[in-house]
Structure 1
């Protein structure tokens, strides 16, 4: 059994407050969460459940952790995200009769279950307001051996277009405002729908294509940090020969330990960075650069059966 939820937070005059809900059925205080619907992804479930239980629409941030336990002998996992409120208001409903906005320490004291307190502690470990880059590997394209034209022009396959359509639904859950892409047709078409929905022009990133990255990996890495530091969240579509190296290098710079760095076609790395100090430029000391503090891998934008 799979479920998803979030630490829902808001800015209260410069301080962070989080939402804790009371479920009348269990007479407990918990973080908002709920089970996946059929054909739903885990991130989409988190957003839907938050709105159903709290009345607030939200924007997802970093993945916090997965909690596992059993319900009547059935294994259950719950994936928790950080999520910032966008709009809405609480109205008592069938599942939740009370909601309290509290500072983190007070919320932790009120929560009934230790795993919820652990999730909240992970949320509190880092700043709530982080930069986010959604680093996407292009969707499936026809086999290179079966394509006689310029490889830059190799198009998406039917399966690839299905992946691109799913990404068009998934990626907006993090509210990106910019779309960047390596200059390959398969990379461009993977995120074209996202750009169309945002009504923005895609920015080509030659240094983040395979041909542009490997002659000077440091320059490609700096370019990704520039994308991260720009105002607003970003989608960046690239290639399998680039993404693992970029993620590994960013993780090493940020002191993150990643056991492995998978990179399936149509997958997404949700990369969260600290904000740079003041006005930032690449000539500054690396200590002032955006720092990768969270990296979460989504193997597919398609819901599992």
Structure 2
């Protein structure tokens, strides 16, 4: 049965009330691919327990972040490997039969490989063209996530910008500031970043020269088996001397084929992104740009079209 946009929006208000404080956290992904004819297709899964058609999702495991959980749940429910892209928002809804409210965060996800096999939670997976998918979904809240996805092109390039992790106070370090290392908490942040950044499929890493920047992405470089390329223009001193050249260099690192990571500093990232967003006509979400946080930037035809700041999403349950 076809539903009007007004009907869907009315239903969504009941499921996405920002005043609701969820006590069960989950995450999932909108899986997309190009069909044999080049048309855009979205995957839906059937859960026999509920006899519904929905987007793949599931609860966070203890010690897990929403980002890592999204990739794991996709793999467990569909057998498919995926690479996360744009953040698509979240929904909240009451859990039937319990005095609990669930929050589910969603990301767009491109399929990298794998094959579906029926399992304990999902007995069928179907790919639907976008002109059919709304009618096939069981819940209005899933339609909201699909609409968020369709507002921008499916194929977007991703660039990850990381602020270096905690390195202690500058006035308590006696050596050159360029050599100030991460403190213990910062080393833990650097290790915790690895699975979260891997969810977005990075292949190359660039860093401002200070040791604390290189140490922040060092564990990721080890996991990928790649070298960290130096980017002097994206250090505080390099940016202060030539802000336009630094922005030009950051823009040059955007690639439709390769997801790249840049690690930079607190006096660079906010100003660089403000200028970038103004040029491309995007309003950035509010962000404190704390140490160890990450910006996920999405681009279509070379233009910045979406930006998501990961801070609390990097905290494990």
When normalised by structure 2's length, the TM-score is 0.88
Which 4+ residue blocks in structure 1 deviate beyond 4 angstroms?
Answer: none
- Structure 1 residue 75: deviation in Å? 2.4
CA 1:219 to 1:295, structure 2 compared with 1: closer, same or farther past 3 Å? same
Separation (CA, whole Å) in 1 of partners of 2:129 and 2:256: 29
What does residue 50 of structure 1 align with? 74
1:2 paired with 2:28, answer: no
1:161 paired with 2:187, answer: yes
- Is the contact between residue 266 and residue 301 of structure 1 (CA under 8 Å) also seen in structure 2? no
- Structure 1 residue 300: deviation in Å? 5.5
Separation (CA, whole Å) in 2 of partners of 1:11 and 1:230: 16
Q: 1:119 aligns with which of 145, 157, 167?
A: 145
SS of the residue 2:216 aligns to: helix
Which runs of 5 or more residues in structure 1 are unaligned?
A: 276-289
- Is the contact between residue 244 and residue 263 of structure 1 (CA under 8 Å) also seen in structure 2? yes
- Is the contact between residue 158 and residue 255 of structure 2 (CA under 8 Å) also seen in structure 1? no
Q: 1:59 aligns with which of 83, 101, 105?
A: 83
- Is the contact between residue 216 and residue 263 of structure 2 (CA under 8 Å) also seen in structure 1? yes
Separation (CA, whole Å) in 2 of partners of 1:219 and 1:230: 21
Q: 1:80 aligns with which of 100, 106, 113?
A: 106
User: RMSD of aligned C-alpha atoms?
Assistant: 1.5
- Is the contact between residue 166 and residue 301 of structure 1 (CA under 8 Å) also seen in structure 2? no
- Structure 1 residue 251: deviation in Å? 2.0
When normalised by structure 1's length, the TM-score is 0.91
Q: 2:307 aligns with which of 275, 291, 295?
A: 295
- State which drifts further: 41-50 or 218-227: 218-227
What does residue 273 of structure 2 align with? 247
Q: 1:270 aligns with which of 270, 285, 296?
A: 296
Q: 1:21 aligns with which of 42, 45, 50?
A: 45
- Is the contact between residue 253 and residue 291 of structure 1 (CA under 8 Å) also seen in structure 2? no
Alignment of 1:175-194 (within 5 A): 175-194=201-220
CA 1:247 to 1:70, structure 2 compared with 1: closer, same or farther past 3 Å? farther
- Is the contact between residue 20 and residue 99 of structure 1 (CA under 8 Å) also seen in structure 2? yes
SS of the residue 2:108 aligns to: strand
